[in-house]
Amino acid sequence: METRECIKTRRSIRRFTDEPVSDDLLYEVLEAVRWAPSWANTQCWEIIVVKDSSTKDKIASILSPNNPAAKGVKEAPVVLIVCGRTGLAGFKDGVAKTDKGDWYMFDVGIACQNLCLAAHDLGLGTVHVGSLDHKALDELLGLPEDVKSVEVIPLGYPAKEGKAPPRKAIEDFVYFEKYGNKIKA
């Protein structure tokens, strides 16, 4: 699929069929993460691939109550947990380079978007699920102290079309030369 079409037609998919995702497709999706850009090429992302039903059920129970993605996490053939190794992005020789501290959330965001776009390109659905108890998830997955879960992404064939929530117009978030200036320079 053409890139800008893929960007515009990707939807959050929260219900999946029971059709399995082949390893070939799974690796195509993971390959897209490999090519994400990152702070000084530190590539801080780590991904756990979960297919075990009881682990998926446990993950679903760790999501924030009434999270609309819980059913999708249980029924998707593959659930990806995207994590970030801390202390890499945003640092040089162990010292933070900016007042924002660790940039792992930013670099993992980039990686997750590559993942979701590649999945959509392959006919697979995903949704970003970040509202959950991260401490419980880190423990469930056996993450070491310096690796933190960021989000859960169920991956599978869509059982239901996703809807596009309304977007701001470009004019609502773009300014020219200085903040607040809506007139083109």
Q: Could you give the string, one character per residue 78-107, with x where binding to a second copy holds by CB under 8 A and - elsewhere? A: -----x------x------xxxx--x-xxx
* Total residues interacting with a second copy, rule: CB under 8 A: 84
CB of 70 to a second copy, least distance (A): 15
CB of 149 to a second copy, least distance (A): 10
Q: Which of 130, 154, 156, 158 binds a second copy (CB under 8 A)?
A: 130
User: From CA 24, how far away is CA 143, in angstroms rounded?
Assistant: 26
Binding of residue 160 to a second copy (CB under 8 A): no
CA atoms within 13 A on the CB side of 161: 4
In this structure, the strands spanning 125-126 and 147-156 are antiparallel
Q: Which amino acid, residue 171?
A: E
Q: Which amino acid, residue 105?
A: M
CB of 29 to a second copy, least distance (A): 9
Token digits of residue 112:
């997750």
Q: Which of 21, 59, 150, 155 binds a second copy (CB under 8 A)?
A: 150
Q: Which amino acid, residue 97?
A: K
User: By the 8 A CB rule, do 114 and 34 touch?
Assistant: no
| Among 13-21, 69-77, 119-127, 153-161, the segment contacting a second copy (CB under 8 A) | 119-127
